[in-house]
Amino acid sequence: MPSPNFGPPPQVKSHVPAGYLAPTLQQAISALTPRMYRAAHECHAIYGAGYGAVLANLLGKVSFAVSSNFRIRGHNGKSMPLSLHIRFAGARLSGKTEAHDRFIAPINNAMKSWKKRWLFSNVRPPTLLRKIRAGAAWSMLSMSEGRGHLADSLSRSFEDLSDLHDSNMPPFDRADDDDEDLVENAPDSAIFVTCVNVQDDKNREWLDKHGKSAIESGYLFRLLMMESDELAIEGAGEQQPEFALLDYDDRIVELIASGLIKLRATPANRLPEIKVEPAAEQVLQQAQERFKFMASAMLPERDTIVFAVRLAANARRIAGCTHVFEGYEGAVSPDTMARAVMIAEYFGTCWLATVFPPKPVPAVAQRGRRLLDHLHGCARQAGLHTLSGPKADVEALAPNFGWTKAEMVEAITWICGQGFAQIVPRRENGRRVIKFELVLNPAGFLPGHQGYPPRLI
C-alpha cells in the first residue's frame, strides 16, 4: 500500500512546551494496524473524505463493534470497556458525512436484528437514559453533522457521559422514582460509544460557553477531540473498486454478530477481558510521562496528570480496539500498543490546540511587527546590521502606513518594549537629539532568517 499523500504539513496550532515534537496526522494514520490502515486509505481515495474525518469515524465505528465482544485489562488490574468517545470538528467540505456514512453502513445492516434502540442523534438525557434502562444496553451516539447535538443538553450532561464512558449506568434521579418496573429491571452496565461529527465553528462556540465546566467535571479529559481544516478531495468514486472497505464490512458484521450473542447472555461489565503484555504496559507508562510533558505548557500541574492518565486510558482502549478488529490472539503486544499511543498522542495534541487555541495578536503588536519588518528591510538595503535615526523621522512615516501619529508611537513603544530597539538621548553638534536605534541582533541576520527577529508573541 503506498503512503498516503497528505500535502504540506499544517501549522501546529497547539501550545506545547519547547522540545516537544507533536505527531502529525500522517503519522497517526500510518500507525493504524494493517486492515484499518487499508480501509482508511481506501475511504479517502474513493470517497474523498479528509484523513482526519476518516481516522475519527473509523475508530468510532470499530469501537462500537468490538466493545460488545471484549473489555481490556486496566493499569490497576480491573477491566475497562473498549468504548471510545470521539468528536471530530471539521470545516465545511471536510468529508465528515462521507466518512460517517461509509463506516456506519455495515453496522446499520448488522444491527437490524437488535430490537432495542441502538443509534441516537439529537436526544435529550432523560430519553437516552430511559431507553438504555429499558434494555438498549449497547448503543452509540453518532451523526454526520452535530450542530443540533452541541445545542442540546446531552452535550453538557458531563456526569452522565462520564458514567457511560466507563460503562456504568448513571444513578436514578427523581424523575425515575415512580417507574418501579424500570428501576427493578434496569441493567447495571451499558456500552455507549460516541462518534459525533460537528462543524468547527459550532465546536468553538460550545467550548467558549461550556469548556470550563467540561474540564472541571473531568469529562472533557475523557473525550478524544480533533479539529481539522482539511478539505475533502473529489475521490475516485465508482472508478475504483472497493477491496479493503469490503474487508472492513465483513469484519464489522462478524464482530457485531458475535457481540449480539455475547450481550444476550453476558452483562456489559462482565465481557471477556484482553490482557496486556508487560512490555506493552511499559510502552504505555513511558507514553504517559510524555503526555504529561506535552500538556505542561497549558495546564496546571494537577490537570496535566489528569490529562495524561485519561489519554493513556484512551490509548489502552484504542490498542484493544485494533487488537480485536485485526483478530490478534493473546495479549496486546508492544507493537499494537505503540501504534495506539501514536494515535492517542495525535488526538492529545489536537485536544490541546482546540481547547487552548492561540489568542489573536493585538493590533498594537501587529503594527509593531510591520514597522519592525520595514526598518529591518531599510537596514538590509543600506547594507547595515542595525539602523539609527531621529525618533521624529520614524514618527513621520505614519501616513505611509495609514496610521495616526499616536498609532506610530504605540508601534515604536511596542518594539522597544520587546527589546528590538531603544530610544536614547544623544548630543550631536551640541544639540540634544532623541534617537531611535534598532538593537543589534546578529541571530536575526543569519542566512535564511531574512533579518526577522524571533517571534515573542
**What is the spatial distance between Cα 376 and Cα 391, in angstroms, rounded to a whole number?**
16
Q: Residue 304 falls within a domain, yes or no?
A: yes
Query: CB of 139 within 8 A of CB of 132?
Result: yes
Q: Residue 295 falls within a domain, yes or no?
A: yes
Specify whether 120 is located in the same domain as 250. yes
Domain boundary among 307, 327, 355: 355
**What is the spatial distance between Cα 378 and Cα 365, in angstroms, rounded to a whole number?**
20
Specify whether 144 is located in the same domain as 216. yes
Domain extent at residue 329: 25-355
- Digit-by-digit pLDDT tens for the chain (457 residues) are 445 555 444 444 446 887 889 999 999 999 999 999 999 999 999 999 999 999 999 999 999 999 999 999 998 889 999 999 999 999 888 999 999 999 999 999 999 988 899 999 989 999 999 899 888 999 999 999 888 899 999 999 999 999 999 999 988 765 555 566 566 677 889 999 999 999 999 999 999 999 999 999 999 999 999 999 999 999 999 899 999 999 999 999 999 999 999 999 999 999 999 999 999 999 999 999 999 999 999 999 999 999 999 999 999 999 999 999 999 999 999 999 999 999 999 999 999 999 988 777 788 888 998 988 888 888 888 777 677 888 888 888 888 999 999 999 999 999 998 888 898 888 888 788 888 888 765 443 333 333 333 332 2
Q: What is the pLDDT of residue 10?
A: 41
Specify whether 110 is located in the same domain as 46. yes
Cell for 19? 522540545
Q: Residue 451 falls within a domain, yes or no?
A: no
Specify whether 259 is located in the same domain as 406. no
Query: CB of 253 within 8 A of CB of 106?
Result: yes
What 3-state class would DSSP assign to 108? helix
pTM for the full model?
0.80
* 332: CB partners within 8 A, 6+ apart: 72, 274, 275, 276, 277, 280, 319, 320, 323
Specify whether 309 is located in the same domain as 386. no
Containing H/E element for 388? strand 388-390
Specify whether 390 is located in the same domain as 276. no
CATH number at residue 169: 3.40.50
Q: What is the pLDDT of residue 390?
A: 85
Containing H/E element for 308? helix 301-326
Whole-number Cα distances in Å, 163 to 195, 273, 441: 17, 20, 56
Q: Residue 326 falls within a domain, yes or no?
A: yes
Number of domains in the chain: 2
Q: What is the pLDDT of residue 9?
A: 40
Q: Residue 5 falls within a domain, yes or no?
A: no
Specify whether 343 is located in the same domain as 390. no
Whose cell is 461489565? That residue is 269
DSSP 153-193: GGGG-HHHHHHHHTTBPPPP-GGGTT-HHHHHH--SB-EEE
Specify whether 179 is located in the same domain as 38. yes
Please give the radius of gyration of the chain, using alpha carbons only, rounded to the nearest integer: 27
Specify whether 412 is located in the same domain as 291. no
- Type of residue numbered 24: T
- Type of residue numbered 162: S
Specify whether 146 is located in the same domain as 97. yes
**What is the spatial distance between Cα 137 and Cα 263, in angstroms, rounded to a whole number?**
9
Specify whether 277 is located in the same domain as 388. no
Specify whether 148 is located in the same domain as 288. yes
